């Protein structure tokens, strides 16, 4: 083993990227606060975000002190705790703590603020699915039949279904899709035969085409069915995405976001010059504030930071000589990649609005702590990766 790899390796580059993102987040929140509605007067999102980043840094430090392999020993306990908290929300237990907002019951409300269990479930799912994949191959080191692949796929999807179902009932489409993205990312690298995966993709495509065909043949009946279902809010956002001018109520936020980003042009309007009003700009639509003030160049800097962040995570996953560590990285990469793509995509009308925050930039306690927890795991894997001379 090389002597330089004997110590505790710290990914300084990844830490520096997070610091840059923290600076961008705090700067954006500082400039946004004066333009927020009066109901947010005295909220001090800028100061609260500093507090969340400090708490998140403590979480990173604690996570790095624990060998990530220890997570395997408590994987089922961690997963069970996450599912239990989601179940408590569904059952409204305890009623004085369960909190809803904008039609979704997704939070516990405490004196210090709200906590969203669905955010933490993202990392919990990565841990349990990574453990299941590694455990599967430990039990079957030589045998690899189609039956084994189907059984592994069943286990991976099986642990994802309970939290996804509970989150869908809240309803929270954004978090539901993130859990699906994590599951998909881990399935892709789990070693399951491509013919099985392509068969599943084919079935999904056929189902989607069938749904669209039925909608085109019976548009009125399908629209009524979707609107009256528990996913009525999904259809509303979908209509607002396709025709924001026609469905003004549903497409209002999207239309304002497009106006804001477009008005920034190449170089932006300048510091704190934001003329376009957007609801909840400090959370889901924080990207529009950066684009309006600093234009295409400022937005490009943010996108580049996310590219570098994901690149460093991929680098860590590839260099790790431990299967569990690599799978942890892949699940977290799936988490961040999908969420960044979805948030920026919905801001530029590439995708429907789902209410997902932009990692590390949007204001939010539960979400930011979750992202810092995920980064702590990546740094943990990196710090315990060793390079051997004859690898």
Least confident among 85-89, 101-105, 238-242: 238-242
Task: Look at residue 110 in the predicted model and tell me its pLDDT.
Answer: 85
Q: What is the mean pLDDT of the chain?
A: 87
Residues 6+ apart with CB under 8 A from 25: 49, 53, 286, 360, 361, 362, 363
Residue 186 or residue 217, greater confidence: 186
Q: What is the mean pLDDT of residues 283-310?
A: 92
Residue 206: band (very low, low, confident or very high) from pLDDT cuts 50, 70, 90: very high
Average pLDDT over residues 58-66: 93
Residue range 66-87: mean pLDDT, rounded: 93
Q: Which of 168-172, 324-328, 384-388 has the lowest mean pLDDT?
A: 384-388
**Closest to 279 in 3D by CA, of 355, 378, 335, 223:** 355
pLDDT, average across residues 122-137: 95
Residue range 161-187: mean pLDDT, rounded:
92
pLDDT at position 146: 86
Residues 149, 193 contacting (CB under 8 angstroms):
yes
pLDDT (0 to 100) of residue 8: 64
The H or E element containing residue 115 is strand 113-115
Q: How far apart are the first and last CA of the chain?
A: 10
Sign of CA dihedral 341, 346, 347, 350: positive
Above pLDDT 90, what percent of the chain? 48
- Residue 221 CB-density burial (10 A; 0-12 exposed, 13-18 middle, 19+ buried): exposed
Per-residue exposure over 257-273, b if at least 16 CB sit within 10 Å of its own CB, e if not: bbebbebbeeebbeeee
Give the whole-angstrom CA distance, residue 312 versus residue 11: 9
Average pLDDT over residues 296-321: 94
Q: If pLDDT is split at 50, 70 and 90, which confidence band does 284 have?
A: confident
> Per residue in 218-254, pLDDT tens?
777 777 776 666 566 666 677 667 676 766 667 778 8
pLDDT band at 5 (very low <50, low <70, confident <90, very high): very low
Cβ–Cβ < 8 Å for 298, 290: yes
Q: How many residues make up the chain in this entry?
A: 391
Is the predicted pLDDT of residue 6 greater than 50, yes or no?
no
């Amino acid at each position: 083993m090389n002597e330089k790899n004997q110590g505790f390796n710290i990914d300084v580059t990844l830490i520096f990227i997070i610091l840059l993102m923290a600076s961008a987040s705090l700067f954006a929140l500082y400039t946004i606060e004066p333009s927020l509605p009066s109901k947010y007067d005295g909220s001090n999102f800028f100061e609260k975000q500093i507090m969340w980043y400090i708490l998140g840094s403590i979480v990173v430090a604690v996570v790095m002190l624990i060998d990530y392999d220890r997570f395997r020993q408590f994987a089922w306990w961690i997963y069970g705790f996450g599912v239990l908290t989601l179940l408590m929300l569904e059952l409204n237990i305890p009623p004085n703590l369960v909190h809803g907002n904008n039609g979704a019951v997704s939070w516990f409300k405490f004196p210090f603020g709200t906590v969203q269990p669905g955010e933490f479930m993202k990392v919990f799912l990565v841990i349990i699915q990574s453990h299941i994949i590694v455990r599967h191959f430990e039990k079957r080191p030589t045998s690899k039949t189609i039956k084994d692949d189907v059984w592994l796929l069943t286990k991976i999807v099986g642990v994802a279904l309970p939290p996804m179902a509970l989150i869908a009932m809240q309803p929270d489409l954004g978090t539901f899709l993130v859990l699906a993205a994590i599951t998909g990312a881990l399935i892709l690298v789990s070693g399951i035969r491509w013919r099985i995966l392509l068969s599943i993709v084919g079935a999904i495509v056929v189902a989607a085409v069938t749904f669209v065909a039925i909608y085109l043949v019976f548009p009125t009946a399908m629209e009524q069915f979707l609107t009256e279902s528990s996913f009525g809010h999904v259809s509303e956002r979908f209509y607002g995405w396709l025709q924001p001018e026609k469905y003004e109520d549903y497409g209002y936020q999207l239309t304002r976001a497009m106006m804001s980003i477009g008005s920034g042009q190449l170089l932006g309007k300048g510091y704190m010059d934001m003329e376009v009003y957007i609801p909840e700009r400090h959370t889901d639509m924080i990207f529009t504030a950066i684009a309006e003030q600093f234009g295409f160049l400022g937005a490009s800097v943010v996108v580049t930071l996310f590219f570098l962040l994901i690149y460093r995570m991929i680098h860590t996953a590839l260099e790790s000589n431990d299967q569990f560590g690599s799978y942890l990285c892949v699940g977290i990469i799936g988490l961040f990649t999908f969420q960044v793509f979805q948030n920026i995509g919905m801001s530029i009308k590439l995708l429907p609005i789902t209410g997902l925050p932009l990692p590390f930039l949007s204001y939010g306690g539960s979400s930011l702590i979750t992202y810092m927890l995920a980064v702590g795991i990546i740094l943990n894997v990196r710090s315990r990766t060793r390079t051997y001379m004859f690898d």
